[in-house]
Chains A and B, each alone.
Chain A
Amino acid sequence: MSGKPGTVAVALGAIMLALAGPGAAMAQAVVSTGVGTPFELAFWQSIDSSNDPSLYESYLTRFPNGTFGEIARAKIITLRGRMAQNPTSSPTASPALTVPVAPAAPSAATVAPVAPPTVPAPVPAALPAVPAALPAAPPVVAVAVEPAAAAAPPSGNTLGQLLAALANSQTTGGAGAPNAASAPASAPASAVVQPVAMVSPAAPVALHPTTAGFVLPPQPALSPVPQVALPPSFCSAEARNAFHDTVYAPSVNTARQNNEAAADYLRRLQALYDQYQLSHDPDTMNAIVGAARTYGQVAQTTFAMQAALVRQFPALMAVPVVPCAQPTQPPATTLAK
């Protein structure tokens, strides 16, 4: 290994600083380039290891537009918050090293149907030719990366994990990226109750052998979705609630489960297709595309069924409540005198 570990560690420290936030990165850059008065730097260095927020307030008083102003303000907020949470804690406690992490993908709304993934494109029969002749093999300089003899993983977020999360944030559909598989434009809400068809149970699973060792994954089993026929009126709000709980909600749940299962199956096919992208196996890829196209019709049906049920909710809420006629009591008969 030809590198200098110390140099690399310090260089990575700069990246670590940048990962801690753009303000901190700016401060580091300012210091390294000598911007700022020596007195300000000396002042800051005298308090930088302290966890007493009043010292940082003093810094801001002295240097309201100082190089480390953002850091000082952030530390004051952090330290004050910590002291408020734990009044008995000593101000000398070391603050935790905070680093940004990629936000988790937002969870889907419970009633929003999951759009079926797109079907992978078929493999063209004739692949395009290599555009240019490949050069003769030159000597390739190897990247000097050697495994460490014994590396104990440090606790918490490591720099490696942070860099991986950073790279992942730049993948299409990765953390923080807009969802590539956005739902198709929903049909305009209609007060008209959509008839909900029944989904037939999945046909027996058929495995389609293509190349040696490859079989398509089995199709998921779908449950029949009961129709929801809205009555012309409810006798009371309680009756509407009961209808919702016993008729409408179970139907929606079944439709949602079917739709999720169908979408998940298509995603599995897509993942399989992606795995075979460069595997020199067009037969398998075409088999996957064929399966996805065939099952895509099922997925569209499950999606439409769930969407129709979701759209039915306003109609359910719009069913009027009309007090039902009380059972008529037979007129009191009087005994004949």
Chain B
Amino acid sequence: MSLGQMRRGVGLVAAALALILAGTADAACIEAPVVGAARLHEFEMLMMDVSLRCTRIGVAMQPHYDSMIGVHRSLFDGAAQRLQRFFATDAVADAHHRGLYDRYATMIANRYGGGNTSLDTCHVFDAVAVEVARAGDGGRMLGAVAQAMIAHPLLEAATCPAKP
């Protein structure tokens, strides 16, 4: 891609960003903030798994991943804590949710633990980590990318069974 094409690409990116920000319909059985937290947490887990795999095949994206996590640590930690509260809100709910957070974490690990990572995809994921870490926009960039990559968090399908 030439620089001129890149400049034209930025125009396309602006339109694509608008589409990303249009958002997706939230599941009816989960509140929107929980869906957002699940999306962010799942994105973090995805990037962590990819980072580990890419490091193993020689693409040093671990520093970029760590930087991304560090820059947006409050957002990632807030998402994880919100999910923990979702799975254990009070004594009654805790009786039903016992162990569900662990199961949820296992499901995410299973979902992204066996991906097929190549050098090409590693370079792209590395670019994603770099740009998300670089964007000092209060998490807007992070939210847009996470929403594009995790349109439907696993939590939706796992807690909102389809109607028979």
Q: Does A238 contact B (CB under 8 A)?
A: no
Contacts of A153 in B (CB 8 A): 19
CB distance from B120 to the nearest CB of A (A): 6
Identify B3's interface contact among A48, A146, A272, CB under 8 A: A48
Shortest C-beta distance, A6 to chain B (Å), equals 8
> Given A140-B78, A172-B110, A280-B100, A49 and B4 touching (CB < 8 A)?
yes
What is the total number of residues of chain A having a CB less than 8 Å from a CB of chain B?
88
Chain B: interface secondary structure? Answer: helix
| A87 contacts partner chain B, Cβ-Cβ < 8 Å | no
Determine if A71 and B116 form an interchain contact, defined as CB atoms under 8 angstroms apart: no
* Chain A proximity of B15: nearest CB distance (Å): 4
Asked if A154 and B12 make an inter-chain contact with CB atoms under 8 angstroms apart, the answer reads: yes
Quote the shortest CB–CB distance from A211 to chain B (angstroms).
10
Partner of B158, one of A3, A11, A275: A275
Stretch at the interface among A12-20, A111-119, A307-315: A12-20
Segment at the interface with B among A173-181, A222-230, A244-252, A317-325: A173-181
The number of residues on chain B lying at the interface, defined by a beta carbon within 8 Å of a beta carbon of chain A, is 95
A172 touches B113 (CB 8 A): yes
For the complex, is B71 an interface residue (Cβ under 8 Å from A)? no
What are the residues of chain A within 8 A of B12 when measuring CB–CB?
16, 97, 154, 158-159
In the assembled complex, which residues on chain A have CB atoms less than 8 Å from the CB atom of B101?
A: 130
Give Cα A154 to B16, complex, Å. Answer: 7
The answer to whether residues A140 and B161 also contact, given A5-B14, A178-B116 and a CB cut-off of 8 A, is: no
* Further 20 A-B residue pairs, CB within 8 A, beyond A5-B14, A131-B102, A148-B22: A2-B137, A3-B137, A5-B17, A9-B13, A12-B131, A15-B127, A48-B4, A68-B2, A97-B1, A100-B120, A130-B99, A130-B102, A137-B81, A141-B74, A142-B36, A145-B144, A152-B15, A159-B148, A177-B115, A275-B160
CB<8 Å pairs between A and B, sample of 30 = A8-B135, A9-B14, A10-B10, A11-B135, A13-B6, A15-B13, A16-B10, A18-B127, A27-B1, A49-B4, A127-B103, A130-B87, A131-B102, A134-B88, A137-B81, A140-B82, A142-B78, A143-B75, A148-B21, A158-B12, A159-B13, A160-B16, A169-B121, A170-B46, A170-B117, A172-B113, A174-B116, A215-B164, A275-B162, A278-B104
**Cβ-closest 5 pairs across A and B:** A170-B115, A3-B140, A18-B127, A159-B16, A145-B143
